A and B are shown apart, each in its own frame.
Chain A
Amino acid sequence: MIPEGDGRIIGYYGYPRRSLLAGARAAFGAELPLVDLDIDYGAPDAGLLPKATCSIITNIMNNAVWLSGRLAVVVAAVGEDKCDGGRNIAWLLKGMGFNVVESRFTGGGAGRPLVWSTSAGPLAERIDRIMETVVEPEPRGAAAQGPGTSGAPRRETGAIAAPPRCEPTHGFWGVPPNDFSILGLFPPTTHIYGWTRCVEAGRPDDLDLETFVDPGVPTVFFTQSFCAKQNLAHYLAERHGGLEVDCHREINDSIMAKVEAFIKLS
């Protein structure tokens, strides 16, 4: 959420390197809140992008213009971990006078074990937890999964314990949707795949992980309209007998009905 008032904030989008977020805080104020500009907070339409633009990219532009007086800096994911839209919007924001720091993942990295992608529980809540890991390395409740990668016991960082791993009955593949209402249709035993899983794994640029799904799990391949990930979703849905769904801004009744039918019938 956006803190109330007119205090300074640090904006970011995608999954920027934590060292760059830490650097932004060191430069502009350790106490400055971090605000994810990908999210629709109800900012007015700045009217600066074509209508046929991914909603997430449009959110970034609208949020930046709306919050321009408060943004100390924008830490922008511009590499293979995001998309050309992320790179182009950083260039546009720089040209508009915003202070922009670019972030690129270049492969490798230690990665992190999956917790929320493969456990049971409300899907929207688990995706929220995963996206929190962009700025908060340890998923809340990760202690419930035992030792971390270092072998040391995990620190419990939040009030909600991670549920244990479950066998998947369904799958959700994709980025966190602009409109979360679609997520309420999925049963708690839905595993999370695609870019959202990559975020939890700390490997947002890993295309092999992004295109992985468990064979035989009925999966909805979700993309925002006008996103290049539609190519992947189309291919993977054909290959795995899944359902391909793309949506522009709000999810409409017919998309809900299609997903509901797929979940009930598969």
Chain B
Amino acid sequence: MLIADCGSTWTKILDTGSGKLEIIKTRDMVKRRDLHFDVATGHSAKGRCAVFRNELIALAEGALALVPDPDFSVVDVGGRDVKFVRFRDRRVDKLDWNLSCGSSTGATMELLGNYYEIDFRTLPPSADWINVTCGVFGMEKVLEQVSTGTPAEESIAMFLHGIVRNVYDFAGRPETLHLSGGFCENGCFLKTFAGYCDIKPLGRAVPLEGLKAK
């Protein structure tokens, strides 16, 4: 069975028979007319699968499959959205999904990172932050910082710190937070988050676990 999580930037495809996980750019995936999934979730999956699953439900069920605790919170930070689920006694206690604002999502950071050729795995975290009330305004502040002499690395680490604070607030400021999505591979993001709570990366395949769970 071919299952997929088609995010706005990256598509994760799992062949459940062989266990092979393929991660490709969504912009490449949409060009491949031959690709059709048995079960899929995500922004770009509609029309490319036999069964479409709601992303928040896939995340919740994936987190339940991966985390044994009775009470826990999980947040998935994507390119264009952020999803949050809190469980109590392994039942959903609260959830939220923000799609309308780039103040706590990854797309702007990826743009900045590409532009300044930043390696987020090795970027040192910053104790200072930029108030990212909006992804675009935040990006403007980074450009302003750079133009007034702050090194690009430091400015982007400050921007990332602003995003971390927004995500932490969005998740209700828990003591422990499980993280899903591409930011699990962003060392700077993880180290910055560790200043706020115990952050536990679950990797990029949490929604796929949710698709498998059914």
**Interface on A for B, CB 8 Å cutoff?**
241, 243-244, 254, 257-258, 260-262, 264-266
Which chain B residue has the least Cβ–Cβ distance from A240? B94
* Cα–Cα, bound, A254→B95 (Å): 14
Option from A243, A257, A264 in Cβ contact (under 8 Å) with B96: A243
Is B97 engaged at the interface, CB distance under 8 Å to the other chain? yes
Q: Chain B's nearest CB lies how many Å from the CB of A233?
A: 13
Option from B57, B81, B99, B100 in Cβ contact (under 8 Å) with A261: B57
**Contact partners of A264 in chain B: CB under 8 A:** 54, 57
Q: Lowest 9 A-B CB distances belong to which pairs?
A: A261-B56, A265-B92, A254-B99, A258-B97, A261-B57, A261-B54, A266-B92, A241-B94, A257-B54
Taking CB atoms and an 8 Å cut-off, the chain B residues in 80-107 that contact chain A are 81, 85, 91-97, 99-100
Is B60 engaged at the interface, CB distance under 8 Å to the other chain? yes
A262, B54: Cβ atoms closer than 8 Å: no
Q: A261-B54, A264-B57 are in contact. Are A254 and B93 (CB under 8 A)?
A: no
**Contact partners of B60 in chain A: CB under 8 A:** 261, 265
**Contact partners of B57 in chain A: CB under 8 A:** 260-261, 264-265
Contact digits for B48-70, partner A, Cβ 8 Å, 1 yes 0 no: 00000011110010000000000
* Cα–Cα, bound, A264→B96 (Å): 14
**Most-contacted residue by chain B among A257, A258, A266 (CB, 10 A):** A258
A261, B94: Cβ atoms closer than 8 Å: no
B99, A265: Cβ atoms closer than 8 Å: no
B95, A265: Cβ atoms closer than 8 Å: yes
Which chain A residue has the least Cβ–Cβ distance from B100? A254
Which chain B residue has the least Cβ–Cβ distance from A261? B56
**Interface on B for A, CB 8 Å cutoff?**
54-57, 60, 81, 85, 91-97, 99-100
* Cα–Cα, bound, A254→B99 (Å): 7
Q: Chain A's nearest CB lies how many Å from the CB of B54?
A: 5
**Contact partners of A260 in chain B: CB under 8 A:** 54, 57
**Contact partners of A241 in chain B: CB under 8 A:** 93-94
B56, A258: Cβ atoms closer than 8 Å: yes
Given contacts A241-B93, A243-B94, 5 further A-B pairs with CB under 8 A are: A257-B97, A260-B54, A261-B60, A265-B56, A266-B91
A257, B93: Cβ atoms closer than 8 Å: no
Q: Chain A's nearest CB lies how many Å from the CB of B76?
A: 12
**Contact partners of A265 in chain B: CB under 8 A:** 56-57, 60, 85, 92, 95
* Cα–Cα, bound, A266→B94 (Å): 9
* Cα–Cα, bound, A243→B100 (Å): 16
Option from B91, B92, B94, B97 in Cβ contact (under 8 Å) with A254: B97
What are 9 A-B contacts with C-beta separation under 8 Å?
A241-B94, A243-B96, A254-B97, A254-B99, A258-B95, A261-B54, A261-B57, A264-B54, A266-B91
B95, A262: Cβ atoms closer than 8 Å: yes
**Contact partners of B92 in chain A: CB under 8 A:** 262, 265-266
* Cα–Cα, bound, A147→B93 (Å): 40
**Contact partners of A257 in chain B: CB under 8 A:** 54-56, 97
Which chain A residue has the least Cβ–Cβ distance from B172? A238
* Cα–Cα, bound, A262→B55 (Å): 12
* Cα–Cα, bound, A141→B96 (Å): 38
Q: Chain B's nearest CB lies how many Å from the CB of A138?
A: 39
B93, A258: Cβ atoms closer than 8 Å: no
* Cα–Cα, bound, A113→B2 (Å): 54
* Cα–Cα, bound, A44→B81 (Å): 33
* Cα–Cα, bound, A260→B53 (Å): 11
Q: Chain A's nearest CB lies how many Å from the CB of B55?
A: 7
